[in-house]
Amino acid sequence: MPLATTLLKNTALDFNIKQVHKPVLLNEVLHFLEPKKNGIYLDATLGLGGHSEAILKNFQNIKLLVGMDWDEEALDLAKKRLAQFKDKTSFYLANFKDLNMILEEENIEGFDGILMDLGLSSYQLDQSGRGFSFMRDEPLDMRMDRSGTVLASDMINKLPEERLEKLIRFYGEEPWAKKIAKEIVKKRGEKPILSTSQLANIVKEAIPKKFHPRKIHPATKTFQAIRIAINREFENLTTGLEKAVDALKPDGRILVISFHSLEDRIVKHFFKKNSQLEIITKKPIRPTKEEITKNPRARSAKLRVAQKRHKMED
């Protein structure tokens, strides 16, 4: 049985999407996606629908925009946001590792463009009650897909110390992983670690104060590592990229926005090694200072773009 207590009630009723949610690198996405007349596009990480809304408003002659997300609450909010475009939209509750099934469901040959924004939405961080952020005291859940059976609290309370250390070091790139893992095991021996505030305080105490990062909370990397592991984010990304290229039409473009150096590395190497792709952005596109000022969460975003080549003639 999961160790976490009952999840906090969804507060989506009072959530104002347009006030809170700011799609990252929006102008750059519209520029590089180059939506064309009668084109078919896939937003493989629909989130709260910010990018999709801009595509539909600015390129009204596209044929279809398909949105998929494996967070049911976020998908429901996005559907409401995009209701005015119901004749040109279709939605799927699924992870992008399964995007190939959409081709059959929609009876289409392929997509003219695919967007993957790998960041958490403002709703997930601020309103979901699933413990993605340490800024509020919430149950340690961290599942994107609520049907999953393993919670962050299960991992924190059950994994051996060595496994915890490796997980935090690799996925979080946290140099203090050994000390953090040791402290977690010590504290969970006293009582189960079930809330974000418990975990955040443990990590904060484990790292010597003089080594606390100046710009981020000391627990940031540990929370990131646990979330990535729970949701198998890197494995899903690798599979999703492979299926995205297969689902692209010739000359179709794939755009990927990452927020983690290891994610960006996966995308970079995949683009470089895939002979079907021509890299459009030799270096990742970063947010402007103006965008970061307006939306600090955009500061670590990187956009990479590639285009599918035509098949070589025999």
Q: What sections of the chain are H helices per DSSP?
A: 17-20, 26-33, 50-58, 72-81, 100-106, 122-126, 152-158, 161-172, 177-190, 196-206, 220-230, 233-247, 261-273, 289-294
pLDDT given at position 11: 39
Return d(Cα 98, Cα 101) in angstroms, integer: 6
pLDDT band at 130 (very low <50, low <70, confident <90, very high): low
Pick from 296, 291, 247, 263: which is nearest to 173 by CA? 263
Please indicate, yes or no, if residue 135 is contained in any of the structural domains: no
- 50-59, 129-138, 187-196, 217-226: least confident range: 129-138
Show the domain range for 245: 12-123+233-308
Q: Please state the rounded mean pLDDT for residues 115-139.
A: 70
309: tokens are 């080549």
Whether pLDDT at 132 is above 90 = no
Over residues 140-150, the mean pLDDT reads 80
273 shares a domain with 182: no
The total number of structural domains that make up the chain:
2
**Which of 24-38, 116-130, 237-251, 261-275 is least confident?**
116-130
Give the chain's end-to-end CA distance (angstroms, integer).
Answer: 57
Is 70 exceeded by the pLDDT of residue 134?
Answer: yes
Residue 123 has pLDDT above 60, yes or no: no
Q: For residue 260, tell me if it sits in a domain.
A: yes
Looking at the structure, do residues 89 and 221 belong to the same domain, yes or no?
no
Q: Give the C-alpha separation, 36 to 144, whole Å.
A: 32
Which stretch of 2-6, 24-28, 126-130, 131-135 has the lowest confidence by average pLDDT? Answer: 2-6
Give residue 148's pLDDT band: very low, low, confident or very high (50, 70, 90).
confident
Regarding whether 117 and 243 lie in a shared domain, the answer is yes
Domain boundary among 230, 257, 280: 230
Residue-level pLDDT at 92: 97
246 and 104 fall within a common domain? yes
Confidence at 4, pLDDT banded by 50, 70, 90: very low
* Alpha-carbon span 308 to 133, nearest angstrom: 37
> Which domain-ending residue is among 206, 230, 254?
230
d(CA 251, CA 240): 19
Task: Answer whether residue 115 is part of any domain.
Answer: yes
Distance CA 58, CA 61 (A): 9
